[in-house]
Structure 1
Amino acid sequence: MKLLLSCTSFISLVFASDVLYYSNKDFAENMPKHDLALVEFFAPWCADCSMIDPFYEEAARILKDNDPPVPLIKVDCTVDTGTCVQYGAQYYPTFKVMRNGEAEDYKGRVTAADIVKNMKYLAGPASKELKTVEDVEKFLAHDDYSVIGFFRNNKSDLAKIYRKVADPVKMEVLFAHTTEQAIRDKYNYNNDIVLFQPKIYQNMYEEPIRKYDGDASTQKITEWIQKQSLGLCSERTNENYKKFNKPLFVVYYDVNFFRNKEHTIYWRNRVLEVAKRFHDAGKDVNFAISHHKTFEPELVMFGLTEDHDRKPVFVPRDKPVVTAKDRRGRKYVMSDEFSEENLEEFVNGVLEDRIEQYLKSDPIPLSNDETVKVAVARNFDEIVNREDKDVLIEFYAPWCNYCTEFEPKYKELAEKLKDEKDLIIAKMDATTNELPNPYKYSKFPIIYFAGKGNKNNPKLYNGDLEVDAVMKFIANESTNELKGYTRRGTMRKTEL
């Protein structure tokens, strides 16, 4: 155990860790001195702890320079068992937020970005008051977007609205305010709200400082801050991805402004060059960069990695890969190698509807003459969404035993209804084809009825998987009465 501790100490020294390692004695003596801290109770053999280590280290590096600084601490529970037992660390890792020695559960995620944002949120007021020019300089010396309200006094209408804005948006940007004349004179702002872009994101394509000049309303100011904090091309992360509007063009590569700064900035500048052209042309287009590993599930959705074994088909090391979603949510993939010219052409192609959308789809069948029609993503509109036919569509999975048992019954149903000219019976493999809106599944098989003129609101079938039961459902839902069956699903009698 002593050898383990020696190794741990050696590693910490080699890598100049910003994480504090506390023993039982250190913990008891030092924790009351910290107004706020985050503590990880860990075990050296814990695989999850090892996976979190680089994120914890990166967060510690950033938070040590926060105002006020927030220390990140680790306690080895295989050695300092007393402290771990005292604070209820029964599994590893366990994270506790400590305030003046008092503990509470840490409720956020443990990525570096999440830890930083959560602890900054806990560290101070919604808006920090700035008293001197030095306070302003210190406040702006970090890697987050910042907003400062320069007010004549805290009782002005704009100042009151600003305080309302600061709380809900704080997890995305940092807020401060001042009423000091010397600061207002220095920065030449008077009763203004100003957004400052952090130095690490600054570039030649957009202004690093932007003043709000819209109406004095909470909603308008909030919307302005959210939009401006994304800029022409911001980093899209797990925390902010919902903020980006469509049409959206995302460029994926190994984005990291801290560990891979030059490489990250080089490719971002190529994207910014294109984004600037569309911005100057008055076109409402949104751009972002994303780390390809962070958004690997998204790349799977765009067909850029293999879903079954998670092995990337395309690993964007030297050149990024680009995807897009238009205003309707349709997906596109740029097939050409990344360049500014190709990116611009791709954007124009999507905006002008000249590029085929990407659909995860099986090939369209060469022949489709069976009583049960085969639908795939690429022929879904042709088979299911046609307005002149009622359609019963089954979504299935090849590995589903219930689907296998239902298959002969479904064929029997289709055979009985083969003479109904206004009805199509279809099926689609939901594991190899993308389901269009509004179709969803939570189990297999799942069956919908899409009536004529009602394709946007198909009816979900919840009955038994038996021929008679499904027949009654079809007969009742059909737009016009079936030729061979009554509304109750019974066969019509034929006259001799």
Structure 2
Amino acid sequence: MTKFTVLFLGILLINGYFAEDEIKEDEGVLVLNDENFDAAIKKHSNILVELYAPWCGHCQKLAPEYAKAAQRLAKEDLPIKLAKVDATENQALHDKYITRGYPTIKFFQNGEAIDFNGKRDRNGIVEWLKSKTGLTVKTLETAEEIDEFTKRNNVVLVGYYKDEKEAEEFKKLAISIEDIPIGFVSDAKLAEKALKLKKNGLVLFKASDSESLKYEDKLAGVKDWLEKNKKPLISEFSQSDANLIFGGDQKEFIVLFYKESEGTQKLKNDFRTAAKQFKGTIQFVQVNVLVETNDRIGDFFGVNPEDIPTIRAMSRKDGLKKYQPSKNKLGSSDIAKFAEDFKADKLELYLKSEKLPEDWDQGLITVLVGKNFDQVARDPKKHVLVEFYAPWCVHCQNLIPVWDRLGELYKDNENVIIAKMDATLNEVDGITIRALPTISLFPKDKKENVDFTGELNLKEIVEFLVKETGEEPNGEVEEPKVEGEETAEQKEGEETKEKVEEATESAETDDSKEEKSSESSEEHDEL
């Protein structure tokens, strides 16, 4: 090997190894790009990376919390870094990691990536990272520390293992336990006095339940035991605990909506009485609608202000399905009967629907709502192309002139209907909208609809329609002008969207996501 070759390779190695040293920081967060990404991942064995878009409302909301989390990690001198990537400026990273929408957050541990699924605030980010790196277990040395630790959180797990090997196994197990703060006691006298444990074991504390639960069996069974017992008899809904409440293996829920006042205690007592009959089978949840961050969860369940107090049911067994009582009776026996009918599948499925406009079929674009969707979209004599949109969605706003022009091109075609439906106010059984806008064709000669996955322009939409139906447009396919600037109304809509998503994300799970999904990209907002 020549001296030149050795020198050249040396320069490459030095540049590659020290590339991360040149990485800029923004409020404690590393700023990565296509060039320095690999070097940063190689240097830091624990690094959380947010791939964002500058225009994304969710990313803007996350930014200050993300920075505070990075600063807290640095202050606590923890071996974890936070980084961010503008995915709109770094195409290689965008193509590799963006599969649904913004922000996409990945945790890289020794180069291996997993999805971040913790709470999107500074404390949630830090605690999730601690849990993934084995830093989550807090050592408790006094009865006062145990008392403070158990009172600080709704659900807490404390373990006592005097054997060093078992203690290490417990701490390794703790890494895989999410959403629950975990404490550790090594002193035998303290364990007996404060935890009532005379031998190795765990104690589960739940703030909403008076009793604590012991586990003194093998560590291998801890996760199954936790899954069955970690949720209280009644869960008080909050956005911060939404994943804990609606996640996991639990599939059925009864939800009480109420306004906190002096007169609500009897209602809560009746709700608790009914809940005891279904412990372990149905999770009972309370929602105080006077809490500002809870407003959109009511919209999600179809609860009107005049209905409150009221109850609803939700199932995740086969997609996401919601139910409401025929009569708003809330005695303990009435609630129990509603729950029994829910379990027995005797309730009528609830689907949101707007009132049908009188001129719904008079314009170039046919207006669909929940009530007339099947009648129109599944007409065996028509090809029906539907845009599922939201009024606040920037990309939906930009699509309006394209959709209007499409309506003009097919207005005289008796075989084709160009339609639209507000996906925030209407629901259809069997269809779950994950990105906005979603364009889907309901062919007249097929039972299954076909999603459009191309670029949101007139040319590609027409090509898709012709390919699937054989129906040609009547006129020239010229792209209409589309304004790219975000209006004040659209910005306000983005804020509304965030509130809606807070409610829907709380109840959405992988079960419903798999039912029907659409790609999210720069041309789609996530619903």
TM-score (norm 2): 0.53
**Cα distance change, pair 405–353 in 1 and its aligned pair in 2 (3 A):** same
Q: Is the 8 A contact 2:274 2:336 kept in 1?
A: yes
Provide Cα deviations, 1:409-448, integer angstroms capped at 9, x if missing partner: 41540422x1x4xx654332446434773435535xx632
Match for 2:199: what amino acid?
Answer: N
Report the alpha carbon displacement of residue 382 of structure 1 after superposing the two structures with TM.
Answer: 4.0
Which residue is 2:201 aligned to?
A: 192
Gaps of 5+ in 1: 1-93, 306-312, 491-496
Report the alpha carbon displacement of residue 252 of structure 1 after superposing the two structures with TM.
Answer: 2.7
Q: Following the alignment from structure 2 to structure 1, what is the Cα–Cα distance between the partners of residues 468 and 321?
A: 30
Match for 2:274: what amino acid?
Answer: V
Which residue is 2:373 aligned to?
A: 380
Report the alpha carbon displacement of residue 377 of structure 1 after superposing the two structures with TM.
Answer: 1.6
Query: Which structure has the larger Rg over C-alpha atoms?
Result: 1
Report the alpha carbon displacement of residue 175 of structure 1 after superposing the two structures with TM.
Answer: 1.8
Which residue is 1:25 aligned to?
A: none
**2:154 is aligned with 1:154:** no
Once the two structures are superposed, the pairs formed by residues 124-135 of structure 1 within 5 Å of their partners are: 126-129=136-139
**Cα distance change, pair 364–110 in 1 and its aligned pair in 2 (3 A):** closer
Report the alpha carbon displacement of residue 275 of structure 1 after superposing the two structures with TM.
Answer: 1.5
Report the alpha carbon displacement of residue 358 of structure 1 after superposing the two structures with TM.
Answer: 3.0
Report the alpha carbon displacement of residue 242 of structure 1 after superposing the two structures with TM.
Answer: 1.6
**2:436 is aligned with 1:442:** yes
TM-score (norm 1): 0.55
Q: Following the alignment from structure 1 to structure 2, what is the Cα–Cα distance between the partners of residues 216 and 202?
A: 24
Report the alpha carbon displacement of residue 344 of structure 1 after superposing the two structures with TM.
Answer: 2.0
* 3-state SS, counterpart of residue 239 of structure 1: helix
**Cα distance change, pair 386–330 in 1 and its aligned pair in 2 (3 A):** farther
Report the alpha carbon displacement of residue 193 of structure 1 after superposing the two structures with TM.
Answer: 2.2
Q: Following the alignment from structure 1 to structure 2, what is the Cα–Cα distance between the partners of residues 181 and 213?
A: 17
**2:281 is aligned with 1:287:** no
Identify which of 324, 333, 337 aligns with 1:341.
Answer: 333
Once the two structures are superposed, the pairs formed by residues 290-329 of structure 1 within 5 Å of their partners are: 290-292=287-289, 293=291, 294-305=293-304, 313-314=305-306, 316=308, 320-327=309-316, 328-329=319-320
Q: Following the alignment from structure 1 to structure 2, what is the Cα–Cα distance between the partners of residues 476 and 190?
A: 70
* 3-state SS, counterpart of residue 347 of structure 1: helix
* 3-state SS, counterpart of residue 164 of structure 2: coil
Provide Cα deviations, 1:9-56, integer angstroms capped at 9, x if missing partner: xxxxxxxxxxxxxxxxxxxxxxxxxxxxxxxxxxxxxxxxxxxxxxxx
**Of the two structures, which has the highest relative contact order with CA contacts closer than 8 Å and spacing of 6 or more?**
2
Q: Following the alignment from structure 1 to structure 2, what is the Cα–Cα distance between the partners of residues 176 and 358?
A: 46
Report the alpha carbon displacement of residue 235 of structure 1 after superposing the two structures with TM.
Answer: 1.9
Q: Is the 8 A contact 1:376 1:433 kept in 2?
A: yes
**Cα distance change, pair 238–226 in 1 and its aligned pair in 2 (3 A):** farther
**Cα distance change, pair 141–477 in 1 and its aligned pair in 2 (3 A):** closer
Once the two structures are superposed, the pairs formed by residues 45-84 of structure 1 within 5 Å of their partners are: none
Which residue is 1:251 aligned to?
A: 256
Match for 2:436: what amino acid?
Answer: S
Provide Cα deviations, 1:103-126, integer angstroms capped at 9, x if missing partner: xx99999999979989x99xx963
* 3-state SS, counterpart of residue 296 of structure 2: helix
Q: Following the alignment from structure 1 to structure 2, what is the Cα–Cα distance between the partners of residues 98 and 427?
A: 47
Report the alpha carbon displacement of residue 214 of structure 1 after superposing the two structures with TM.
Answer: 6.6
Q: Following the alignment from structure 2 to structure 1, what is the Cα–Cα distance between the partners of residues 138 and 258?
A: 35
Q: Following the alignment from structure 2 to structure 1, what is the Cα–Cα distance between the partners of residues 149 and 424?
A: 51
Report the alpha carbon displacement of residue 271 of structure 1 after superposing the two structures with TM.
Answer: 2.1
Which residue is 1:237 aligned to?
A: 238
Which residue is 1:428 aligned to?
A: 421
Q: Is the 8 A contact 1:127 1:177 kept in 2?
A: no
* Equivalent pairs, count: 355
Report the alpha carbon displacement of residue 247 of structure 1 after superposing the two structures with TM.
Answer: 1.6
* 3-state SS, counterpart of residue 241 of structure 1: helix
Once the two structures are superposed, the pairs formed by residues 373-412 of structure 1 within 5 Å of their partners are: 373-384=366-377, 390-395=383-388, 400=397, 403=400, 406-407=403-404, 409-412=406-409
Report the alpha carbon displacement of residue 223 of structure 1 after superposing the two structures with TM.
Answer: 4.9
1 or 2, which has the higher helix percentage? 2
* 3-state SS, counterpart of residue 458 of structure 2: coil
Q: Is the 8 A contact 2:185 2:191 kept in 1?
A: no
**2:354 is aligned with 1:359:** no
Which residue is 2:321 aligned to?
A: 330
Provide Cα deviations, 1:262-293, integer angstroms capped at 9, x if missing partner: 877654432221111123xx7x2111123312
Match for 2:252: what amino acid?
Answer: P
Which residue is 2:97 aligned to?
A: none
Q: Following the alignment from structure 1 to structure 2, what is the Cα–Cα distance between the partners of residues 163 and 192?
A: 13
Match for 1:291: what amino acid?
Answer: N
Q: Following the alignment from structure 2 to structure 1, what is the Cα–Cα distance between the partners of residues 424 and 336?
A: 34
Q: Is the 8 A contact 1:97 1:106 kept in 2?
A: no
Q: Following the alignment from structure 1 to structure 2, what is the Cα–Cα distance between the partners of residues 101 and 129?
A: 16
Aligned-residue Cα RMSD (Å) equals 5.0
Q: Following the alignment from structure 2 to structure 1, what is the Cα–Cα distance between the partners of residues 204 and 172?
A: 16
Report the alpha carbon displacement of residue 325 of structure 1 after superposing the two structures with TM.
Answer: 1.7
Identify which of 176, 180, 197 aligns with 1:172.
Answer: 180
**Cα distance change, pair 386–269 in 1 and its aligned pair in 2 (3 A):** farther
Provide Cα deviations, 1:347-387, integer angstroms capped at 9, x if missing partner: 23333343333333123578987796542123334433578
Q: Is the 8 A contact 1:150 1:184 kept in 2?
A: no
Q: Is the 8 A contact 2:440 2:451 kept in 1?
A: yes
Which residue is 2:59 aligned to?
A: none
**Cα distance change, pair 214–253 in 1 and its aligned pair in 2 (3 A):** farther
* 3-state SS, counterpart of residue 158 of structure 2: strand
Identify which of 405, 411, 415 aligns with 2:412.
Answer: 415
Q: Is the 8 A contact 1:449 1:460 kept in 2?
A: no
